[in-house]
C-alpha cells in the first residue's frame, strides 16, 4: 500500500511547514538522530549565542555583567521571560537557573512545610530516580524517615500510572505532591490541570517535573494554577549538555521566602548593598541561589529564539504526527516480530517519544547505532525513539522502521513472541 512506502513519507515531508528548520541544526553525518529526549542537537543559533557571550567576555571583561548585547546580570530573568510562553507562565513566574535537581531541592525546601497532621510527600514509583533521591534527602533533613513519609503511587502495569490512583493517594497526611509531567520511560502524559485541581481541593501544594515535556508539549502552568515546576533545557530545548535549567513559581507564592537563599535570591536593587539580611526578589528570581553559569546559559539564547519563532503549538502538532506515523509503521511492519508499543497511543496521553519494548532491546539498540540510527536504551527491555519536530523528518521515521524490520527478518527468532501484539 502506498501509505507504507517511502514516497508517502517524502510527501509528508514536502507538506511540512517546519521542514526548513532542519537546516538550523548540525545533524550528525550519516545518522538518524532519535535521542533528542535525552540530549537535543546543537543549532546554529545556539552556537552563535555562545560565541556572542564569549566575545562579550573578551571585549568587556567584568563590565559584561551590565554591558553588551546580553548583560549577564539580567540574563536569567530575560530568558525566563522568553521561556514563559513555552510553559504558559507569566514572564515574572519563570527564571533560568541551577540544575534540575538543585531546583527541586530549592522548591521542596520552600514548599514542604510539614505540620502535625500533614508530614508526607506524594510521588510515583516510575518517576526519574533523581527526583526520588532529592525527596528522600529533604525528608531526612526535616527528621522524617522516607520509608514512612514518602508515599509512592504504584503502577498497575509497570509502564504507566493510573491517575485515579494518584488522586486516591491524596490523603490528609500529604503535605506536598511532586510528579512528572511525562513519565520518562513510557512517555505517559499526565493531566496536570486535573491533578492540580484535585490536589488544591484537598489543600495540598503540587509541583511538576517538566524535563520530558518542555519544548515538546504546550503547558498552561499559570492558568492551571500549578504551584511550582522545574525542568532541564538540554533535551527538546537543545541548550546543550549541562545547560542551565529553569523553574516556575506561581505568582501567588511570591511573598514566600525561598527555602534555600543565596546571592542571587536578592532583589537586584539591593544585591550590592551587602546587607546581612536578605531582601528577596518579588518574582521567580527569588528562587535562584548562586551566580548564573553564563557560558552554560548562553546557548539557550539562540535555542529559545527558534521556539519563539515557530511556536510550541506547531511543534506539538508535528511531534504528534511523527510519533503517530511511527506507531502506525511499527504496527504494520513489526507486530509479528515481538515488539510491543509501551507508550500511550492516544494523543492526549502521549509525550514526545515512542517507547518500544522487546526482550532483546539492548542488542537491538546496539544494532541500530551500527546502522546510523541513534536510539535510547532503557533497562531492561525498552527502546525510546524520539523524532523531534524541528530536525527529524517523516522519512527518518520510515527509514528507522525499515531498519528494524530488516533486523527481525534476518533473526532466527523472528516469530511472534509472547510479548507481541
Check 118, 120, 190, 209 and give the catalytic one: 209
What rounded mean pLDDT belongs to the chain? 95
Residue 308 sits at φ, ψ, to 5 deg, of -70, -35
Contact 140, 149 (CB under 8 A): no
DSSP string, 4-39: GSHHHHHHHHHT-TTGGGGGGB-PPTT-EE-BTTTS
Per-residue pLDDT tens digits for 37-49? 999 999 999 999 9
Same domain, 232 and 339: no
Contact 285, 77 (CB under 8 A): yes
Cα-based angle 49, 55, 57 (whole degrees, multiple of 5): 110
Whether 234 is catalytic is yes
**257 is written with which cell numbers?**
521566602
419 assigned to some structural domain: no
**pLDDT more than 90, % of the chain:** 95
Same domain, 383 and 239: no
Whether 128 is catalytic is yes
Same domain, 303 and 321: no
Per-residue pLDDT tens digits for 164-193? 999 999 999 999 999 999 999 999 999 999
Alpha-carbon gap, residue 412 to 209, rounded angstroms: 42
Same domain, 6 and 112: no
Identify the weakest region by mean pLDDT among 116-125, 170-179, 265-274, 292-301: 265-274
Q: What residues form DSSP beta bridges with 208? A: 179, 229
Of 288, 310, 332, the position where a domain reaches its end is 310
Alpha-carbon gap, residue 277 to 284, rounded angstroms: 19
Alpha-carbon gap, residue 194 to 205, rounded angstroms: 14
420 assigned to some structural domain: no
Alpha-carbon gap, residue 371 to 32, rounded angstroms: 9
Taking alpha carbons only, the member of 153, 194, 185 closest to residue 344 is 185
Domain holding 174, by residue range, is 48-310
CB proximity list for 60: less than 8 A, separation 6 or greater: 67, 68
pLDDT value at residue 335? 85
Same domain, 146 and 273: yes
Check 21, 70, 208, 234 and give the catalytic one: 234
Same domain, 306 and 360: no
39 assigned to some structural domain: no
The number of folded domains in the chain is 2
Strands 150-153 and 120-124: parallel
233 assigned to some structural domain: yes
Taking alpha carbons only, the member of 194, 99, 112 closest to residue 150 is 112
Check 128, 133, 254, 407 and give the catalytic one: 128
Same domain, 211 and 113: yes
User: Would you list which residues are annotated within the binding site?
Assistant: 100-101, 128-131, 209, 212, 234, 263, 291
Check 136, 159, 318, 384 and give the catalytic one: 384
Of 310, 333, 366, the position where a domain reaches its end is 310
pLDDT value at residue 416? 39
Residue 19 CB coordination number (10 Å): 16
117 assigned to some structural domain: yes
The total number of residues shown for the chain amounts to 421
The pTM of this model reads 0.95
Check 235, 316, 318, 350 and give the catalytic one: 235
Of 250, 277, 310, the position where a domain reaches its end is 310
DSSP SS3 for 52: helix
Strands 32-33 and 373-374: parallel
**86 is written with which cell numbers?**
513555552
Residue 82 Cα distances to 66, 78, 149, 300, 306, angstroms:
19, 7, 38, 10, 11
pLDDT value at residue 137? 98
**Domain CATH for 396:** 3.90.1150.10
Same domain, 293 and 331: no
pLDDT at 418 over 70: no
User: Would you list which residues are annotated within the binding site for pyridoxal 5'-phosphate?
Assistant: 100-101, 128-131, 209, 212, 234, 263, 291
- 186 CB burial (10 A radius; 0-12, 13-18, 19+): buried
Taking alpha carbons only, the member of 35, 57, 11 closest to residue 400 is 35
pLDDT band of 409, cuts 50, 70, 90: low
Same domain, 222 and 98: yes
Same domain, 317 and 303: no
Q: What residues form DSSP beta bridges with 266? A: 280
381 assigned to some structural domain: yes
Same domain, 23 and 142: no
Alpha-carbon gap, residue 111 to 114, rounded angstroms: 9
pLDDT band of 410, cuts 50, 70, 90: low
417 assigned to some structural domain: no
- 372 CB burial (10 A radius; 0-12, 13-18, 19+): middle
418 assigned to some structural domain: no
Whether 193 is catalytic is no
Whether 33 is catalytic is no
**Domain CATH for 114:** 3.40.640.10
Taking alpha carbons only, the member of 241, 233, 240, 193 closest to residue 213 is 233
pLDDT at 58 over 70: yes
Same domain, 74 and 139: yes
DSSP SS3 for 281: coil
Taking alpha carbons only, the member of 288, 271, 251 closest to residue 106 is 288
Per-residue pLDDT tens digits for 318-330? 999 999 999 999 9
Amino acid at each position: 500500500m502506498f501509505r507504507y512506502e517511502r514516497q508517502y513519507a517524502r510527501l509528508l515531508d514536502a507538506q511540512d511547514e517546519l521542514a526548513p528548520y532542519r537546516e538550523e541544526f548540525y545533524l550528525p553525518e550519516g545518522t538518524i538522530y532519535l535521542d533528542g529526549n535525552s540530549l537535543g542537537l546543537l543549532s546554529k543559533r545556539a552556537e552563535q549565542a555562545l560565541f556572542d557571550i564569549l566575545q562579550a567576555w573578551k571585549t568587556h571583561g567584568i563590565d559584561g555583567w551590565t554591558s553588551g548585547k546580553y548583560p549577564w546580570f539580567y540574563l536569567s530573568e530575560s530568558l525566563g521571560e522568553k521561556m514563559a510562553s513555552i510553559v504558559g507562565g507569566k514572564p515574572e513566574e519563570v527564571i533560568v537557573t541551577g540544575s534540575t535537581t538543585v531546583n527541586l531541592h530549592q522548591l521542596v525546601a520552600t514548599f514542604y512545610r510539614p505540620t502535625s497532621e500533614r508530614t508526607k510527600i506524594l510521588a510515583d514509583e516510575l518517576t526519574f530516580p533523581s527526583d526520588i533521591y532529592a525527596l528522600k534527602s529533604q525528608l531526612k533533613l526535616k527528621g522524617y524517615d522516607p520509608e514512612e513519609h514518602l508515599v509512592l503511587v504504584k503502577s498497575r502495569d509497570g509502564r504507566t500510572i493510573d491517575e485515579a490512583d494518584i488522586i486516591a493517594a491524596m490523603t490528609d497526611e500529604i503535605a506536598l505532591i511532586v510528579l512528572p509531567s511525562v513519565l520518562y520511560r513510557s512517555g505517559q502524559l499526565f493531566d496536570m490541570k486535573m491533578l492540580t485541581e484535585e490536589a488544591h481541593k484537598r489543600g495540598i501544594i503540587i509541583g511538576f517535573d517538566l524535563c520530558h515535556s518542555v519544548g515538546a508539549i504546550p503547558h498552561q502552568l499559570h492558568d492551571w494554577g500549578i504551584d511550582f515546576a522545574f525542568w532541564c533545557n538540554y533535551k527538546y530545548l537543545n541548550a546543550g549538555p549541562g545547560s542551565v535549567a529553569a523553574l516556575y513559581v506561581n505568582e501567588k507564592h511570591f511573598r514566600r521566602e525561598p527555602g534555600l537563599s543565596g546571592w542571587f535570591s536578592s532583589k537586584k536593587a539591593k544585591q550590592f548593598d551587602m546587607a546581612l539580611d536578605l531582601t528577596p526578589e518579588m518574582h521567580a528570581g527569588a528562587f535562584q541561589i548562586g551566580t548564573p553559569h553564563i557560558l552554560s546559559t548562553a546557548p539557550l539564547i539562540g535555542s529559545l529564539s527558534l521556539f519563539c519563532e515557530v511556536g510550541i503549538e506547531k511543534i506539538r502538532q508535528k511531534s504528534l504526527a511523527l510519533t503517530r506515523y511511527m506507531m502506525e509503521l511499527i504496527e504494520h511492519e513489526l507486530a509479528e516480530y515481538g515488539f510491543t508499543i509501551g507508550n500511550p497511543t492516544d494523543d492526549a496521553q502521549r509525550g514526545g517519544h515512542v517507547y518500544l519494548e522487546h526482550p532483546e532491546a539492548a542488542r537491538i539498540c546496539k544494532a541500530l547505532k551500527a546502522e546510523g540510527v541513534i536510539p535510547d536504551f532503557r533497562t531492561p527491555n525498552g527502546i525510546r525513539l524520539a523524532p523531534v519536530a524541528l530536525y527529524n523528518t517523516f522519512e527518518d521515521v520510515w527509514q528507522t522502521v525499515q531498519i528494524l524490520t530488516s533486523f527481525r527478518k534476518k533473526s532466527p527468532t523472528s516469530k511472534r513472541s509472547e510479548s507481541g501484539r
